[in-house]
Amino acid sequence: QVQPVESGGGSVQSGGSLRLSCTTSQYLTSRYCMGWFRQAPAKDREGVASIGRDGRAHYVESMRGRFTVSRATGNNTLYLEMTNLKPEDAGIYYCALLMVEYCSSPPIVNGVAYWGQGTQVTVSS
């Protein structure tokens, strides 16, 4: 399995939390940089966070401190823990495989080799 598969989206109230999961093959998850993106209605897809094979994470500044990206011990599942959610965090969240070993920054769309199908996050005020 190469294409990532996301789960865990849903609806929460402002200030609430959600944890998104993403699975792909264990070999790919442990070897390459993987990232989370999101896309709000009528807006461009934007990077959220990335994590490389060394475990180093990078975040978009506006999400630092509220979002945490991590990899399961078995290395075939990627997580995005989101806390203190705001209405502007709503959108479709995508997991992506970047096919470089180390992440040097929050992920960018042009660097993605494989996209997941996305999972919807709704935040009500």
Over residues 69-90, mean pLDDT: 90
The candidate with the shortest Cα–Cα distance to 63, out of 22, 99, 93, is: 93
d(CA 99, CA 95): 13
- pLDDT > 70: percent of the chain: 98
Average pLDDT, the chain: 92
Over residues 56-81, mean pLDDT: 90
Token pair for residue 124? 């009500």
d(CA 33, CA 96): 9
Spatial neighbors of 93 by CB under 8 A, at least 6 apart, are 6, 9, 20, 36, 37, 38, 48, 80, 118, 119, 120, 121
